């Protein structure tokens, strides 16, 4: 049976759930700072689009943070999908919705990075059409390499969102969230 999938902005009542989702991936990005999630939800409440969640049949199973540093570029914060919901296309869906939002805001490029090694994320980027733009060697506190990836909306277009997905996001304010 086809699942009902919704992507929407995280609300205050999602705080603990989102922290749990991030904590389920803490091997990949360390323990999540409550302020990171709290600040993003505050931005959502102000009318910006900062933190998204994906719900499967009403259960929050994934989350992604959107960031904006330059007018023409969208930046990606942390993404995490609950382990038992991985490889179902939810992570790709969150990226596709994020690309759609940044495109609506008039941005032409999405910039992302990943701490090496992370083979699933590398494959994930490749499947979505992100290209590797460079490496920051010995860059993290633990001296791991960081790979830089980009997606060019003006060249590659907006990916198609599957039909069984509802997107419940109002885009009325832009460029205000610079976190
Ligand atoms: C990376 C992550 C976000 C992917 O989410 P997901 O919902 O499982 O990804 P999708 O189902 O959309 O996968 C899309 C494609 O990515 C690649 N991929 C995803 N996970 C993979 C894995 N474990 N091994 C190999 N390829 C993988 C595959 O090509 C996959 O397509 P396929 O299933 O048709 O083969 C998820 O594994 C995760 O939350 N990891 C922990 C957190 C993390 O690493 N975050 C990144 C640092 S911020």
- CATH code of the domain containing 98: 3.40.630.30
**pLDDT, average across residues 22-46:** 90
Sign of the CA dihedral running 138, 141, 144, 146:
negative
Question: What does R_g of the chain's alpha carbons equal in angstroms?
Answer: 15
Is residue 86 situated within a structural domain? yes
Tell me 153's DSSP state: H
Is residue 133 situated within a structural domain? no
Is residue 88 situated within a structural domain? yes
Angle, helices 34-45 vs 15-23, to 10°: value is 140
Is residue 131 situated within a structural domain? no
Terminal Cα-to-Cα distance of the chain (whole angstroms): 39
Q: Per the structure, how many domains does the chain have?
A: 1
Pocket lining: 82 vs ligand 1, CB cutoff 6 Å:
no
Residue 92 Cα to ligand 1 middle (Å): 8
Is residue 126 situated within a structural domain? no
Decide if pLDDT at 175 tops 60.
no
What number does the ligand 1 atom closest to the CA of 121 have?
Answer: 1
List, for residues 89-146, the tens digit of each pLDDT value: 999 999 999 999 999 999 999 999 999 999 999 999 999 999 999 999 999 999 999 9
Decide if pLDDT at 173 tops 80.
no
Domain of residue 37 covers 5-108+160-168
Is residue 91 situated within a structural domain? yes
Is residue 121 situated within a structural domain? no
What number does the ligand 1 atom closest to the CA of 62 have?
Answer: 39
| Residue whose CA is at the smallest distance from ligand 1 atom 14 | 124
What number does the ligand 1 atom closest to the CA of 123 have?
Answer: 17
What number does the ligand 1 atom closest to the CA of 93 have?
Answer: 12
**pLDDT, average across residues 9-34:** 91
Pocket lining: 78 vs ligand 1, CB cutoff 6 Å:
yes
Pocket residue to mutate for ligand 1, from 121, 159, 161, most atoms within 8 A of Cβ: 121
pLDDT of residue 168: 87
Is residue 130 situated within a structural domain? no
């Amino acid at each position: 049976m086809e699942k009902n999938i919704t992507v929407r902005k995280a609300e205050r009542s999602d705080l603990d759930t989102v922290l749990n989702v991030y904590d389920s991936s803490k091997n990949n990005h360390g323990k999540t700072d409550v302020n990171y999630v709290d600040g993003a939800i505050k931005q959502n409440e102000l009318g910006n689009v900062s933190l998204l969640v994906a719900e499967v049949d009403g259960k929050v199973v994934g989350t992604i943070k959107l960031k904006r540093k330059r007018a023409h570029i969208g930046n990606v914060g942390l993404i995490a999908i609950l382990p038992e919901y991985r490889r179902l296309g939810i992570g790709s869906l969150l990226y596709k919705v994020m690309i759609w939002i940044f495109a609506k805001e008039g941005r032409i490029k999405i910039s992302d990075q990943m701490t090496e090694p992370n083979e699933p994320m590398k494959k994930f980027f490749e499947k979505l059409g992100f290209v590797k733009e460079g490496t920051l060697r010995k860059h993290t506190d633990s001296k791991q390499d960081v790979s830089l990836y980009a997606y060019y909306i003006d060249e590659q277009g907006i990916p198609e969102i599957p039909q069984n997905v509802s997107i419940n996001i109002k885009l009325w304010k832009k460029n205000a969230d610079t976190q």
